[in-house]
Structure 1
Amino acid sequence: MVVQYADDKSIIIKKNTLPEAIETCSLLYRAAKNWLSVNGSCLNELKTSCVFFRAPQSRLSHPATIVLDGLDVLVEEKPHFLGLHLDGRLNYDAHVSGLCKQLSSYTFCLRKLKTMANRSVLLTAYHSLVMSSATYAISFWGSAANLELVFRMQKRALKVLLGLKPGQS
């Protein structure tokens, strides 16, 4: 299956064994590269990477790189794709961690903005920064085991917005 978003293309392969997956990936890579060349485009080999998705309890390991049409391609464990920090085991810990850091920065911005702006501006900033980030692609990562961390960061930002102290609710 080929998935395209803007100028990004992803090839999704489902195979029972790692060697089968690598062989199929190699064939599809070569075909995609040829198709792009024939149609006046090219493949950015520096941005080409691979990820092997597997069940969280799986003990299967994979190589650090695979060779596709003579090119060593990095096998990423935690790729960044369309604003999501993915994980080969689909547990979204990396995404939640990155999101919490982002929300912490936004809370700091709200705290600084509070000294010079009215509540309406703060509310707009909260919705544009905190809520848009906290809800982006939530249908993918919203069932993450550590979702509570995001909720706490969102609550912290709201306390700044409402002028509440850390112990208050």
Structure 2
Amino acid sequence: KIKSLGFEGTPVRWFDSYLSGREQVVELKQNLEGTERVGRSRPLAIKRGVPQGSVLGPVLFVLFTADLPKYLGNKSYPIMYADDTVLVTSSKSAEDLDIQTFISVSMAQQYCSNNDLVFNAAKTKYLASGRLEDNLTEPPDLQRVNTVKHLGLVLDQSLSWNDHIDHLCSRLSTAIFALKRIKAVGTPEAVKAAYYALFEAHVRYGITLWGGSSGRNLHRVMVLQKRALRIMSGLQPQESC
């Protein structure tokens, strides 16, 4: 697969050296009457996978699965980030959408099988959105849900962002509590750093998407934003900011 992506020569040999020659053992410890015994299995060669916790692990996984979109063809549109993948299918007909979804999921499962990857059905969710959602049938062994969390964003079937705002406001409320504690014992610089790390970072994340939500949702975020600013500025709850 490395070669199919355009790598050749020294880079290929480097990756081969990095991934080959690895072994694994199983170690068991047993404590009998105060005496600890250790048993080890014979080393077995590792012929697949990447070193756990390695810096190159995520990069190699991305390279390894880079051909998934080509494998799926026009059956669905995959959105991939590291080992998190979403398959998006669309159609004007409920029957056709059911078929396209079933084929896409089946092809994804086959792709995993062909490449020695594990398709985790327990973590795979089915979210339907649009006017046809009541007429759709989820693929076998997949759980249909009303909301799903993807890369920190909570998506709901009506794309209202209500559930995401609930989740966001909960995190912002926790951040406000932390700001109060830091304000009481810390320096202004520490409070400001905490605000950027614990509050504003969550507000900014995905705002280009959920920022088009309803006025009610945006008002909820604004109320918490002002509360945080009052804490930082030492203003009373009813003072304007």
Question: Normalized against structure 1, the TM-score is what?
Answer: 0.90
Higher Cα radius of gyration: 2
1:50 equivalent in alignment to 2:126: yes
Cα distance between partner residues in 2 of 1:22 and 1:89: 19
Corresponding residue SS for 1:91: coil
Aligned to 2:138: 66
* Matched positions, count: 162
Partner of 2:148: 79
Find the counterpart in structure 1 of residue 116 from structure 2.
40
| Local SS of the residue matching 1:86 | strand
Contact conserved, 2:125 with 2:143, CA < 8 A, in 1? yes
Partner secondary structure for residue 129 of structure 2: coil
Of 203, 224, 237, the match for 1:134: 203
Structure 2: gaps spanning 5 or more residues: 1-76
Q: Tell me the residue number matched to 2:222.
A: 151
Residues 116-155 of structure 1 show CA distances to partners (whole Å, capped at 9, x for unaligned) of: 1011000000011110000101111001102111011011
- 2:85 corresponds to: 9
1:103 paired with 2:175, answer no
| Structure 2 CA distance for aligned equivalents of residues 137 and 75 of structure 1 | 24
- Structure 1 residues 168 and 79 mapped into 2: Cα distance closer, same or farther (>3 Å)? same
CA distance in 2, matches of 1:60, 1:38: 32
How far off its partner does 1:168 sit? 0.5
Q: Could you say which residue in structure 1 is the equivalent of 2:33?
A: none
> Structure 2: how far apart are the matches of 1:67 and 1:138?
32
Question: For 1:18 and 1:91, how far apart are their aligned partners in 2?
Answer: 22
Question: Following superposition of structure 1 onto structure 2, how do residues 17-32 of structure 1 map, counting pairs within 5 Å?
Answer: 17-32=93-108
Displaced runs of 4+ in structure 1, greater than 4 A? none
